[in-house]
Every structure is written in C-alpha cells, then in structure tokens.
C-alpha cells in the first residue's frame, strides 16, 4: 500500500512539473509565421496584424461593441446594427447561403463594414470588385464627408487594392486620382462600407498617419448602434463546433497537457495492474471444523492415556486467567491465589483451593478417571464463566 501511495505521489508530481514547464516554455509560434499578406485579423489577437486595438478603441470610445460568433444565417435586424467583417481566411469564407442572409440583412437596414483586399460580391443592386494595387501608399480624402472628417491621409500597406462599385448609390471617400480605398454604397435600407486594406485598422497600422481617425469615422453616423465584429469566420464561437472541444484550445499548451495527462493515466492503470512487493499466497479454506479438531485431540489423548497432559494444558490457561483476574503475579502461591480470586468472584475460597490443588496433582501425574476429569473441566468452565474471561 505504501509503494502504491509513493507511486501516485510521484506521478502527480511529474504531472504538475509538466504543466509548469508547458506554461513556462510555451511560445505562440503562429505570430512569428504571420505576415501582412497572410495574417489572422481577429479582434482577439494582440499580434501586430490582429485587430484587438481597434476593438478596444471602439469600446473605450463609447460604442456598443461586441463579437458576433455565429454564421450570417443567424443575423437578425438590429442584432447587431453594424457588422464588421475583416479579411476572413480562405478556409473560412462565408457560404452562398450566408451571403444570401447577409444581403437580406443589409437591405433590411443593416450596415456591413467589409475590410479586405479582395472583395468580389454582389449585394442588392451593388456589384463590388477590388482590382490591382493603389498607386499611392498615402491615399487622401477625395471629398468632405463624415468618413473623411479630420483625415488628411491614410497609411496603407503595399498590398492595398482599389475598389470599384457598380452602383448609382456609391460614394468614394479616400483614395487618389486613380484608385479608391474607402467607399460606401446604399443597398435597400442599409449600406455597405468598403475599406481595401486591413492594415489601416490592424494593431500595427492603427497608430500610423490618420488611420485611427478614419477607423472611428467608419461609425460616426451611428453613435448609438450596436457593432458586432465577425469572429465566426475567424474560427471562433460557433464555428468551433466543427472542431470539437479542442478547437477552443487551439494555439495553447492545453492539448499537450491533455495528452500528457492521458499518458500518465495509462501509466497509473498499468502500475495498479502490476504487483508491488513479495507475492502473497492464496488463502486456503480450512477443511475441518473446530469441533472435529477437538474431538480428534480428545480421542488421541484418551487412547494414549495422557489425561495428565490434557489437564496440564487446561489448568495452565485457567491459572493464568485467575492471576489476571486477581491482579496477582503468575508465580503466586496457590492458596493465596484461591483466597483472592474467590473473594473477588464471590465463591467459596475452600472449594476453589481444593479444585486448584487437585488439578495440580493430576497435571503432575496422578491417576484420574474420565468421569472425574470431566467434572474438573466442567467446574473450571463454570468458574471461567463466572469470571467473565
């Protein structure tokens, strides 16, 4: 049992050490693999290419901002009022059914802010396409609008594209003489806002030029509306259902910890299945009863005429019990033992002394009949019952 306890404590200590090492040496390598062209633009990300700073800026500026972690088919009027879609990765692009739901939601009055370098969609009467690169890395305001208030120029990356909108309700806000990077278009009761470079709202691009002002201007005409950041198509929220529980721990040391815990569990089961210490013999059931044993010994004693030996065994135990009962030493005189024991037990001292004396004589070798031997043993058992021993 002690060996098992030591093994369990050792395994528990190793597991705790593994957890500590996992957290101590864990490094998020995905941040090192990202680039301006292929990056995770989630509002959960604090890496240079993430948009956590943009999300936090809106929240601290008083906007009602949250993360929308459901497919576009779950969009409801004013839930949210504005949906921000920032460069979904190729593997998580919205389906045709979702685009249909998004179109209905916009036409019903929603505002979709799409920030991506590649936008090729047709929503309502507006056909939107991004083509080629911008001719300037510092596009400026084209006309005074709510989107260009306080904006002199933007800082965009070399991958920024120019947007073209085939719609009579389109308006261009920031660009240069040959290209546009920020535009919007009316679609039904709602509106599409298009920005062709995520660098403007990314953690590393937001502080540059007038990017932070332009980012806030995207929502300047709806100060009381709710804003939802699309995280479903960044791999969070309901989309993790396809990946199971492990999708929640993606990019963390938790999966390794679970694997190590499983390995340790296997070792524990294996350890319990093995023997610790010397082998213990199987228990063997007794083939005879106590009564059979006593009967056999009595018969052997009778045939051998060893009444004295039988009496010696019985009397020695009886005398020890009397000594314990009387609180006297084992080697006490028989007369004194009989006197003290009789007085404490409430029996005749003379009778007890006579019984003890006769037992000693028989144990020493005196002849005795079977009937007298039986009478002496019966009397001894009566006194033992009286003593309660």
| Mean pLDDT value across residues 367-372 | 80
Residue 79 phi, psi (nearest 5):
-140, 75
By CB atoms closer than 10 A (0-12, 13-18, 19+), residue 216 is middle
Q: State residue 4's pLDDT score.
A: 59
Alpha-carbon gap, residue 249 to 28, rounded angstroms: 12
Q: State residue 383's pLDDT score.
A: 85
Interval 194-215: pLDDT, tens: 898 899 999 988 998 899 999 9
Examine the pLDDT at 104 and tell me if it is beyond 80: yes
Examine the pLDDT at 248 and tell me if it is beyond 60: no
CB within 8 Å of 93: residues ≥ 6 apart: 233
Domain at 30-251, CATH class: alpha beta
Q: What is the mean pLDDT of the chain?
A: 80
| Mean pLDDT value across residues 17-43 | 69
What token pair was written down for 79?
């839930």
Q: State residue 287's pLDDT score.
A: 65
Alpha-carbon gap, residue 211 to 200, rounded angstroms: 6
Q: Where are the domains of the chain?
A: 2-23+256-272, 30-251, 290-387
Least-confidence region, from 7-21, 93-107, 336-350: 7-21
Alpha-carbon gap, residue 175 to 183, rounded angstroms: 9
Q: State residue 5's pLDDT score.
A: 65
| Mean pLDDT value across residues 40-59 | 90
For 195, how many CA atoms within 13 A lie in the half-sphere containing its CB?
Answer: 28
Interval 157-177: pLDDT, tens: 888 888 888 888 888 898 876
Examine the pLDDT at 332 and tell me if it is beyond 90: no
Q: State residue 300's pLDDT score.
A: 60
Distances (CA, A) of 261 to 9, 200, 246, 258: 14, 44, 15, 5
């Amino acid at each position: 049992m002690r060996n098992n306890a030591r093994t369990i404590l050792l395994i528990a200590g190793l597991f705790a050490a593994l957890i500590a090492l996992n957290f101590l040496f864990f490094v998020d390598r995905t941040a090192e693999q990202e680039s301006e062209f292929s990056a995770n633009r989630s509002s959960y990300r604090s890496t240079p290419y993430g948009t956590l700073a943009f999300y936090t800026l809106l929240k601290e500026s008083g906007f009602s901002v949250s993360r929308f972690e459901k497919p576009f088919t779950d969009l409801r009027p004013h839930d949210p009022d504005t949906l921000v879609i920032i460069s979904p990765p190729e593997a998580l692009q919205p389906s045709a059914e979702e685009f249909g739901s998004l179109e209905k939601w916009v036409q019903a009055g929603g505002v979709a802010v799409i920030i991506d370098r590649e936008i090729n969609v047709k929503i309502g009467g507006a056909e939107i396409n991004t083509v080629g690169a911008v001719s300037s890395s510092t596009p400026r305001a084209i006309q005074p609008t709510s989107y260009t208030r306080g904006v002199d120029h933007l800082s965009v990356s070399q991958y920024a594209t120019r947007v073209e909108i085939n719609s009579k309700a389109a308006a261009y806000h920031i660009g240069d003489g040959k290209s546009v990077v920020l535009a919007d278009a009316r679609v039904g009761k709602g509106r599409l806002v298009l920005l062709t470079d995520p660098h403007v709202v990314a953690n590393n691009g937001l502080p540059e030029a007038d990017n932070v002002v332009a980012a806030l201007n995207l929502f300047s005409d709806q100060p009381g509306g709710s804003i939802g950041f699309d995280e479903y198509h960044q791999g969070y929220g309901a989309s993790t259902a396809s990946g199971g529980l492990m999708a929640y721990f993606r990019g963390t040391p938790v999966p390794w910890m679970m694997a190590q815990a499983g390995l340790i569990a296997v070792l524990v089961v294996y350890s319990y299945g093995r023997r610790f210490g010397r082998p213990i013999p199987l228990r063997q059931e007794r083939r005879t009863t106590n009564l059979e044993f006593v009967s056999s010994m009595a018969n052997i004693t009778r045939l051998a005429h060893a009444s004295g030996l039988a009496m010696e065994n019985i009397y020695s135990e009886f005398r020890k019990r009397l000594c314990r009962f009387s609180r006297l030493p084992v080697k006490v005189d028989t007369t004194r033992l009989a006197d003290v024991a009789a007085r404490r037990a409430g029996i005749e001292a003379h009778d007890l002394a006579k019984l003890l004396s006769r037992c000693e004589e028989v144990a020493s070798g005196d002849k005795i009949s079977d009937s007298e031997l039986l009478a002496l043993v019966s009397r001894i058992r009566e006194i033992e019952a009286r003593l309660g021993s």
